[in-house]
């Protein structure tokens, strides 16, 4: 009788450990999925930005250059439409 209760106690401890490990692995998986999702959305927004620049007949390089040339002027003062003006 006494041995049986001790056995049960040991099983309970092991179960708790197992569930903790399972929870950790699930958390790890969800964290990974979040990262993947962020990367995917970042890629998509970059692609959209590139498409919008292309509509204005700008390359990415030109966009970067005009931004640098402006040197932090207020929005919309540049002759060339930059990403900020498009959005």
Round to whole Å and give the CA distance between 36 and 60.
25
> Which residue in 81, 31, 33 sits closest to 56, CA to CA?
81
pLDDT band at 74; cut points 50, 70, 90: very low
Matching residue, tokens 């990415």: 60
Return the half-sphere exposure (C-beta side, CA atoms, 13 A cut-off) of residue 73: 14
pLDDT band at 87; cut points 50, 70, 90: very low
- Helix (H/G/I), strand (E/B), else coil: 20: helix
Burial 39-54 (b: 16+ CB within 10 A, else e): eeeeeeeeeeeeeebe
If one compares 11 and 20, the residue with the highest pLDDT of the two is 20
The pTM of this model reads 0.29
- Give CA separation, 85 vs 47, 55, 82, in Å: 17, 13, 5
């Amino acid at each position: 009788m006494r041995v049986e209760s001790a056995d049960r106690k040991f099983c309970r401890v092991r179960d708790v450990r197992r569930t903790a490990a399972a929870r950790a692995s699930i958390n790890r998986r969800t964290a990974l999925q979040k990262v993947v999702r962020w990367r995917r959305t970042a890629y998509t927004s970059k692609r959209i930005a590139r498409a919008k620049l292309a509509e204005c007949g700008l390359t990415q390089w030109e966009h970067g250059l005009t931004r640098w040339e402006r040197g932090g002027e207020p929005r919309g003062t540049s002759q060339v439409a930059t990403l900020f003006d498009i959005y």
